[in-house]
Structure formats: C-alpha cells, structure tokens
Amino acid sequence: MIGVTVLGATGSIGVSTLDVLARHPDRFRAVALTANTDAERLAAQCRQHRPQYAVMVDPTAARRLGELLADMPDRPEILTGVEGLEQVSALPEVGYVMAAIVGAAGLRPTLAAARAGKRVLLANKESLVVAGALLMQAAADSGAELLPIDSEHNAIFQCLPPNFSDGLDRVGVRRILLTASGGPFRDWPLDRLSSVTPEQACAHPTWDMGRKISVDSATMMNKGLEVIEACWLFGTDTDHVQVVVHPQSVIHSLVQYEDGSVLAQLGNPDMRTPIAHAMGWPERIDSGVTPLDLFAVARLDFQEPDFARFPCLRLAFESARAGGTAPAVLNAANEIAVAAFLDRRIDFPGIAAVVEGTLEALPRESVAGQGLEFLLDVDRRAREQAEHLVLVRG
C-alpha cells in the first residue's frame, strides 16, 4: 500500500487525483490532503478518504476545518501554514506526493518532497520555472523521482526512451513538440483583445481548469512556462523545443527523432490520464477516462503560434534563453498580472505589458550557487515591481 500526500487537494488536479486514488483502494491510500482556504471542500474529502493529516494554509480556514470535522471519530490531525505543507510532503509513511498547488506557493513543499526522496507527481510547473536547478539537484541527491503531470510533459515522457536522461541527442531526439490549444482567443481580431473579460478568459474551449491556469492558457503564458519546465525535465534548451497550436487538444505532445519518426501521445483531454500514468508507472492502471474515439475526432489541425497575438509566449522564450533570475521574475510578475486582470484592475493585454515591464525593470542575476531564500527574494521583488506597474496602468 502506497501512501499519498495530495498538495492542493481541492483544486481540479487534486480532485482528479483523488478520483484515480479511489479507483485503486488496494494500492493507494490518502495519508495527507491540503488546501489553502476551502475548508468545506477539504472537510468533505477528509470524510471520504480518511487521511491521517489535513493541512490548511490559512489559519482561519484551519479553525473552520476543525469545526466541520468535530464529530468525525477518526478525524485527521490538522496542521497549518507552509510548515504543515512541508511536513506532510516528507512523512516517512508517504511514498508519492502530488504537487498540485498553483503558483510559486507550491515551491517549498515540492522541494521538501524532492529532498525526502519521494516520487513527486509534478503538476506545479512553477517549482521548476522558479527553482529548476535546486529542485533537479535535490532529486538527484535524494533519489527522488520527478514524474510530470502536465499533459504535455507526461506525453513527452511517454514518447521518450527509458534512457533519455543520458541526453536527448544521444538517444536520437531532434526536438520536442509541445502542443497548445491556443485558448479561447486564438482566432479573435487583435483589436478585440482589450475587451476580453475574466469570464471569457476562463472559458477554456477544451480543458476544465482553475481560473489562474485558464487565463494563462488564454495568454499562452502557460505554454511558455511549460517550455521552461520541459527544458529542465528533459535536459534540453529552447532551440530544441517547439510550440504547436493544436485546437482539438487530442495530441498532447510529440517527440521528433533524427530518423524522421515523430511519436505522439493521444487521448481525451482529461487529467486523470497523466495522473494515472504517473501513479502506476511503469505499469498502466485504470484512470476512468473514456477511450479516445478517433472517428468522433475526425480531424487534427495544427498552426504556428503568433507572437504578436501571444506576447507572453515570446516573453517566456526570451526569459528561458536569458536564464538566471529571468524565469523567476517572469513567473512572479505573471501571477500578479493575472490576479489584477481577474480583479478587473488591468485589461487583458495589460498582463503581458506588466510582465514585460517587470522583466525590463529588474536586472537579470545569476542563480549559480544561490539557495532558496535568494530565489524567494527575487520572487518578492518581482511581485512588488509588478504591483507598481499594475497601479500605474490602473
């Protein structure tokens, strides 16, 4: 029986993870579930899955969770704060940690899981964007397994040979092709983008995701962050990663080889597939996902991304090439800008403008030999600068 901690249990990835976990009660058990503020949903999950620990990052929400579970005979031990997240990520009875907290907030517990030698099911791409060198080194030192949950990176993982860590060039890989839906505005006239509302940006055409990730998909910043993530996970650089707009979201990514072969992973757009793959790997286990009907799909379309339409994707490529602190600044500024857009303080094009302005305002610094506190300070300074730019635009 494998113990599992689910970081971000009340989000869409967390809910899907618990669905897969419940399909295999003889194989997995929930040891710890965590959430930020949604005490009601976490309480319901605790009653269903009976974890030993529950973590609420927000102290007020933690007290509310205690009230909601007061009559539960075997109620979990309730922990609070980032310290609680780190604790349940490194428990000796836990083998797998689903890292599904959105944004840089997931960095500390994800790093704790890697340092503790866990199988880290990585749905928190920001951990690699902000602190890729630290996370990869922690995994190498402890023997932790980093298995990608993003559908694109999981697809690439499935299409690569087992010895890809020897170097992609040594196993005959020419490049990685990351697919992207293009979001809801891929065909809008550019002069209409300033009128985009948060509701429109969150209405993703194929995936059911949280609000922040939905906006990132609409700007294609999500794909830009995934480019940086792919470089870390697969030991490559941006010259060997190409983004392909694929509106149907049926091909989740592809790998092109030197002999002309292109391998692709296909499936219905349901996150339970990559979750089940990572939980069962190297075996295949049931995910509950409906099999793909190619006759219903009927056609597959591909387009080259337009950097004029998607300036956030351009900024992500530029940050990846610049290296150093640039990716951390990019991520922090984007989190502030997206929150401001969702609060209607800036318009949709303002997201890219705030991110670009923050990158221009802060000097790029080397991260060689630097630790987590340095990166967190970079993150803080970038957020402050981005907030200033939001106020200026407002």
- Measured between alpha carbons, how far is 341 from 197 in angstroms, rounded to an integer? 9
Alpha-carbon dihedral sign for residues 195, 199, 202, 203: negative
214 is in an annotated binding site: no
Beta bridge partners, 224, equal none
Q: According to the annotation, is 187 in a ligand binding site?
A: no
Taking the CA of residue 186 as centre, how many other CA atoms within 13 Å lie in the half-sphere pointing to its CB? 20
Q: How far apart are CA 386 and CA 30, in angstroms?
A: 38
DSSP type of residue 76: P
Give yes or no for a contact between 274 and 289, defined as CB atoms under 8 angstroms apart.
no
* Neighbour count for residue 380 (Cβ, 10 Å): 12
CB 368 within 8 A of CB 325: no
Classify burial at 352, counting beta carbons within 10 Å of its beta carbon; exposed 0-12, middle 13-18, buried 19 or more: buried
Q: How far apart are CA 340 and CA 348, in angstroms?
A: 10
- Among residues 64, 13, 6, the alpha carbon closest in space to that of 35 is found at 6
Annotated ligand binding at 10? The verdict is yes
The answer to whether 387 is a known ligand-binding residue is no
Angle in degrees, 0-180, between the axes of helices 39-49 and 12-22, rounded to the nearest 10: 10
Q: In angstroms, rounded to a whole number, what is the distance separating the alpha carbons of residues 255 and 155?
A: 9
| Non-local CB neighbours of 43 within 8 Å, separated by 6+ positions | 65, 68, 69
> 258 labelled as ligand-binding?
no
Which 3 state secondary structure label does DSSP give 77? strand
Ligand-binding site membership of 2 (annotated): no
Is 89 labeled as ligand-binding? no
With 0-12 / 13-18 / 19 or more C-beta atoms within 10 angstroms meaning exposed / middle / buried, residue 39 is buried
Contacts of 239 (CB under 8 A, 6+ apart): none
Residue 166, marked binder: no
Alpha helix positions (H), 249-309: 272-280, 294-297
212 is annotated as contributing to ligand binding: no
- The answer on whether 142 is annotated among ligand-binding residues is no
The reply to whether 165 sits in an annotated binding site is no
86 annotated binding-site participant? no
Instruction: Answer for the pair 279, 96: CB distance below 8 angstroms, yes or no.
Output: yes
Annotated binding site for Mn(2+): 150, 152, 226
Which residues sit in the known binding site for NADPH?
A: 10-13, 124, 126, 210
Task: Output the known binding site.
Answer: 10-13, 124-126, 150-152, 181, 204, 210, 217, 222-223, 226
Q: Please state the residue numbers annotated as binding site for 1-deoxy-D-xylulose 5-phosphate.
A: 125, 151-152, 181, 204, 217, 222-223, 226
